[in-house]
Structure formats: structure tokens, C-alpha cells
Amino acid sequence: MKDFFPLYMTYRNRLAQSELFCGLTEAVLDEMLSHYRFESWNKGSQHDSRIALQRFYVILEGRMELVQVNPLTGKQMTLFILKEGDVYDVLSLLDGRKHEIIPVALDDLKLLSAPLDQVRDWIKQHTEFNKNFMPYLGKRIRSREALATDLGLYDTETRLARLVLRYATLNGVPDNSVGQGIDVNLLHDLSNEALAQMIGSARQVVNRHLQGMKKEGVLHFENHRLIVDNLEKLSQHAAERTRI
């Protein structure tokens, strides 16, 4: 990306505020941006996982869903929903192997992408970038561990509560306040089927549990947005039931 690109300064500022790139000097950011190119993905588009063998993607705007599919049954499971400042794909960056995961644009996505080998060089050359990368990698590993734990140890209602709680309290603080509630931005506009794919369940089961939480005053939906009304009750739902 050239520095005369119309939104160059906007994108540099967004990089500077993200977990991976915060603390880097303007000179380093400019050098990195010279290797990036701007890309846009249309909402709903799916992309071949092999793209991650060549390029490393930084989300500037929008949400990206990472999905795995059983090739025999077509059954899908959502592993992550990535947001602005997140990157794809960490595993292919580390080991250079194909990662059987499908990136899907939940919104119109704006991204920057750079050659994979170039990003590996940055990890070696730039101490601050390396220092940022390790905690980010740890966070992603913990997220994968949390998913495995939920599937193995908790019943469906608890898995659903833990999912909503996890996305409502990213970085340990409410994602966004709406009135007296918490707007779970990353889950807005998602169908019950999509939520079910995130916890290994079925649409009808998720719908039943959501209606139950709604009656209890735990959460509600407003213009296709999921709002948590009582974080304490949600936390109780997320902790009280284990798989029998």
C-alpha cells in the first residue's frame, strides 16, 4: 500500500490501535504498510482456506467467521468470530501448513493482506511486534481451549450462556452498553442456526434456551441485536450445569 492511498492514514491509525501493532513506531508501521495491499470481501462470501498459505490478513472493518465443515455430512461448526484488529490465519503463519478452515465474511469486510514470509520476517526483526504476537497467540489458543472444554464438559444451555458471556465480556469488560444492557456486537444479526453452529447444537434447542433466558430477564433481542440485561444471571447460567 502506498502512502498516497486515500485512506492510508486511517488504516495506519487502526493498525496502531490493534493488539498486534500497538506500540510500533510510525516508521515501522509505514514499512509494514508498504508490503500490505487493501482487500474487500462482500458480505456472505466464502473463501478457500488455501489463501492463508500465501497471505496474512488483518481485519480493518467487519466480522469474519471461521468455519469447519464435515465433508461427508456437510455439518458446520463455527470456531471463531473475528473482529476489527484480529488476524487470519495464525496457524498457517506458524507452521506453513494448510488449515482446514473456511473464512466467511459476516459483514462487508475491509482487510489488509501481506505475504506470509514477510510477516514471519517481521516477527524475527521487530521486537515489539514479536512481544505483541505472543500474547495474541495465547489468547487464540485459550479461545480454542474454551470451545473444547464447553463441548466436553457442559450441557447445551450452559454452552450457550458461556458463548454469550464470552463475547459480551471481551477483554474482561462489557463490549458495548445499550441503556442498562450490554450489546453483544459480535453476535448481532446471527440466526439461531448460526448460534447453534457455535456450540455444537441444533437450532430448535438454542431457540428454546434463548426463550427461557429471555423470560428470566437475562437477555433480549432488539432489531436483530442480542442485548444482555443481567450479566450476573448470565454468569450463573454459564457456571451451574455440567454434562452428566
Q: Which of 180, 161, 147 is nearest to 233 (CA)?
A: 161
Given this model, what pLDDT does residue 244 score?
A: 41
Given this model, what pLDDT does residue 34 score?
A: 93
Distances, alpha carbon 99 to alpha carbons 95, 96, 115, in Å? 10, 9, 17
Q: ω into residue 89 within 30 of 0, thus cis?
A: yes
Question: Which H or E element spans position 137?
Answer: helix 127-153
Given this model, what pLDDT does residue 172 score?
A: 60
Question: pLDDT tens digit string along 158-168?
Answer: 999 999 999 99
Is the CATH number 1.10.3720.10 carried by domain 154-239? no
Split at pLDDT 50, 70, 90, the class of 88 is: very high
Given this model, what pLDDT does residue 91 score?
A: 92
CATH of domain 8-144: 2.60.120.10
Given this model, what pLDDT does residue 181 score?
A: 85
Name the burial class of residue 202, with classes exposed (0-12), middle (13-18) and buried (19+) by CB atoms within 10 angstroms of its CB: middle
Per-domain residue ranges of the chain: 8-144, 154-239
- Reply yes or no on whether the pLDDT at 85 is more than 80: yes
User: Considering only 127-131, 180-184, 199-203, 211-215, which range has the smallest mean pLDDT?
Assistant: 180-184
Question: pLDDT tens digit string along 10-20?
Answer: 989 999 999 99
Given this model, what pLDDT does residue 74 score?
A: 87
Residue partners of 200: CB distance under 8 A and separation at least 6: 77, 151, 159
Question: pLDDT tens digit string along 89-116?
Answer: 999 999 998 888 999 999 999 999 999 9
User: Quick one: how far is CA 218 from the chain centroid?
Assistant: 23
Percent over 90 (pLDDT), the chain: 80
Given this model, what pLDDT does residue 4 score?
A: 66
State mean pLDDT over 26-36.
Answer: 94
CA atoms of 104 and 28, how far apart (whole Å): 30
State mean pLDDT over 149-160.
Answer: 93
Same fold, 8-144 and 154-239: no
